[in-house]
A and B are shown apart, each in its own frame.
Chain A
Amino acid sequence: MDLQTRTENNAIVITISGRLDTVTAPEYEKKILELIEGGNNRFVVDFEQLDFISSAGLRVLLLMAKLLKEKNGQVRLVNVKGNVYSVFEMSGFTTLFKMENSIAAALATLI
């Protein structure tokens, strides 16, 4: 897994590539916690390059959503497709998260 962040329109855009699984989820979780504790509360996570997600990855997304809710924050997911989208469907995540087709579209929906 590779994770990159940048700031755009007062939001953190996270680009995640490779696999979000049992092995890599802890690393992702750590990074997210740091960002949220650092005071960031507007996120766009881009899945364009993500090939694989398992429940371990889903759990971190849930945790992220929960923490942000407590802080009146928001998160949008972008480019959820292919195998990753199938896993979202299996676990009912398609209705839990707001998803957009592009980073620009996602940023536009963040208030």
Chain B
Amino acid sequence: MIRIEHLSKKFGDLVVLKDITTEITKGEVVSIIGPSGTGKSTLLRCLNLLEQPSGGNIYIDGVDILDKKTDAASIRQKMNMVFQSFNLFSHLSVIENLILAPVKLKGMNKQDAQTKALELLRLVGLAEKANNYPDELSGGQQQRVAIARCLAMEPEIILFDEPTSALDPTMVREVLSVIRRLAKEGMTMAIVTHEMDFARDVSNRVLYMDEGIIYEEGSPEQIFDDPQKEKTRTFIQRIRCYTCRISSPDYDLYAMNAEIEAFCEKQILSKKSQHNLLLLVEELLQLYRPYLKTMALDITIAYSEKTERLELICESAGQKGNPLDSQDLSDDLGLMIIRNLTESISYQWLNGKNRLQLLIKTNLT
């Protein structure tokens, strides 16, 4: 349905897209992920002709859309876009927002456009807000209106650019559930998103963008569970992990606790696991404390939903040695707690760093 061949885009000297080649077939849901600034938005904007590509070709149903003879407005009807910041017309009511383009651009008669608009508002659960104005709606509701407005043009494909990243966490779900419903109904979609769990369960294919190219692509399982390339792996790991660096004996334990609690909530860990993790971190920090004057400690906590393994890794430079074996401890209370909380502990001297890896018991009762 859409074929992209050797697409490139430069802004002056800045090469954002180097060479993008891929295809999106009818009914496919493709998620686009990657670090900030790698050109995900630029790619969508090129597809939608909001940016003029510097090179390459884009075909929709075999028609070259970069051909001068092709009408950009009609392309945008086929391929409509939903933005992070809703972009509703604030001086128009919800229903007027929905009927404007179909009447103006498609020449639909007003009555039909109105009927259709109400139908779409029902689909996104907002029929009763038809006569309200955008600023009378919550962010989540505004974004659902924006999706309905997009659907009013009967597009063949919808491009979403981070549709939930401007929303309060409480409103993310309602917007994602609308997009999920569209996926179920067979809508073709390309979605740039930072919501990885959503990307995993809604999409048929995931594109990881980096270095101006589609660096790796595959099924959600391939990309999220078994990425092949180094950079993809690092990216996926980073979003599944909590990391922090402690570089002073006067670290702020409570600030760190709050971050770990947030991580646990995101990973839906039990209250008991959360308690054990906080306790383990505190005990480890106590053991590392004498060293913190001279070197930094990097802590990584990783949870794998699939294997249900919760792991904690401590990395520190400085003298070779396992702090758990230290002879200078005044008692072994901390050690006893650490041993009780963990399934296994391994120590390695790796690349000039002390690496302590602890597998945390998760079935503690």
Q: Which of B16-24, B152-160, B173-181, B331-339 contacts A (4 or more CB under 8 A)?
A: B331-339
Q: Is B195 positioned at the interface, with any CB of A under 8 Å from its CB? A: no
Interface centre among A54, A58, A92 (most CB of B within 10 A): A54
Q: Is A102 positioned at the interface, with any CB of B under 8 Å from its CB? A: no
Asked if A91 contacts B337 (CB within 8 A), the reply is yes
Contact of A90 among B282, B331, B341 (CB under 8 A): B341
Residues of B245-302 contacting chain A, CB below 8 A: 253-254, 272, 275, 278-279, 282-283, 285-286
Asked if B286 contacts A52 (CB within 8 A), the reply is no
Q: Is B52 positioned at the interface, with any CB of A under 8 Å from its CB? A: no
Q: Is A87 positioned at the interface, with any CB of B under 8 Å from its CB? A: yes
A48-91 near B? 1/0 per residue, CB < 8 Å: 00001011101100000000000000000000000100110011
Q: Is A21 positioned at the interface, with any CB of B under 8 Å from its CB? A: yes
Residues of A within 8 A of B333 (CB): 55, 58-59, 91
Asked if B275 contacts A55 (CB within 8 A), the reply is no
Q: Is A22 positioned at the interface, with any CB of B under 8 Å from its CB? A: yes
Asked if B286 contacts A87 (CB within 8 A), the reply is no
Q: How large is the interface on A (under 10, 10 to 19, 20 to 34, 35 or more residues)?
A: 10 to 19
Known interface pairs A54-B283, A59-B331. Does A23 touch B254 (Cβ–Cβ under 8 Å)?
yes
What is the CB-to-nearest-CB distance from B336 to chain A, in angstroms, rounded to a whole number? 5
B282 nearest CB neighbor, chain A only? A54
Asked if A23 contacts B253 (CB within 8 A), the reply is yes
Give me 28 A-to-B residue pairs in the complex whose CB atoms sit less than 8 angstroms apart, sorted by A's number.
Answer: A21-B282, A22-B282, A22-B285, A22-B286, A23-B253, A23-B254, A52-B279, A54-B279, A54-B282, A54-B283, A54-B286, A54-B337, A55-B283, A55-B286, A55-B337, A56-B282, A58-B333, A59-B331, A59-B333, A83-B275, A83-B279, A86-B364, A87-B279, A87-B337, A90-B336, A90-B337, A90-B341, A92-B336
Chain B residues packing against A (C-beta within 8 Å)? 253-254, 272, 275, 278-279, 282-283, 285-286, 331, 333-334, 336-337, 340-341, 364
